[in-house]
Amino acid sequence: MYKVCPSFKLCNEERHKSGVLFLLFILTLNLLLSGMNACVECTLDLYPPQVNFPLCTIAHTPRLPEHCVEYAKIMAWPEEEPFGSGVQVDGDDPEHITWIMKKAMDRAAEFGIKGVTYRLTQGVVKHIIPAVASTNAAVAALCSVEVLKVASNFSLGLNNWLNFNNSHGVYTFSYEQERNEDCPRVQSESEDA
């Protein structure tokens, strides 16, 4: 049995010694009822901005494998045009990903950086955030419960926003996200009505 630890490090050491490794995650779940509550566009300012690397770091002082992949995608691709003039990078084309990975590996070797893999290359090119199976399972369970509530009316539904945090124990709360009157979707719904 695990106790709540004041230190994340201590918690992980105890869990590792017992032979059990728990995956920690944070997730949010939104219940969207069109025209009744906040839509995805109303909540976009709650999400973190997309990660972009400074061009000077990519070009002159890469420190991470991701920098090398970005270099191959942003600088080497347009310069060499490996698949013909004007052909854009296609993150779903294995030949494009392989070419970028090879260029990134060359760049990484030049700067003594390790860790460029096909999966990392594809993740950087397509801006993929890795998912954990336990996170997917929690999302599926929460979605199923909310669908059951809405379909059968046996309980009040989610206010419309749920936050689940499993980083230092399990903590969850829900609240009602207000509609943003400046949201283009909300404005178009009010014009249609």
* Residues with pLDDT less than 70, the chain: 1-35, 47-48, 50-51, 159, 167, 189-193
**Which residue out of 56, 68, 143, 183 is catalytically annotated?**
56
61-67-72-73 Cα dihedral, nearest 10 degrees:
-130
| 171-175: strand order across its sheet | 26-30, 161-165, 171-175
pLDDT of residue 24: 41
Asked about 56 being catalytic, the answer comes back as yes
pLDDT of residue 58: 87
CA atoms of 42 and 56, how far apart (whole Å): 34
Residue range 45-67, pLDDT digits in tens: 776 676 677 888 888 899 999 99
CA atoms of 145 and 31, how far apart (whole Å): 11
pLDDT of residue 80: 95
pLDDT of residue 109: 96
pLDDT of residue 74: 93
pTM over 0.85: no
pLDDT of residue 8: 34
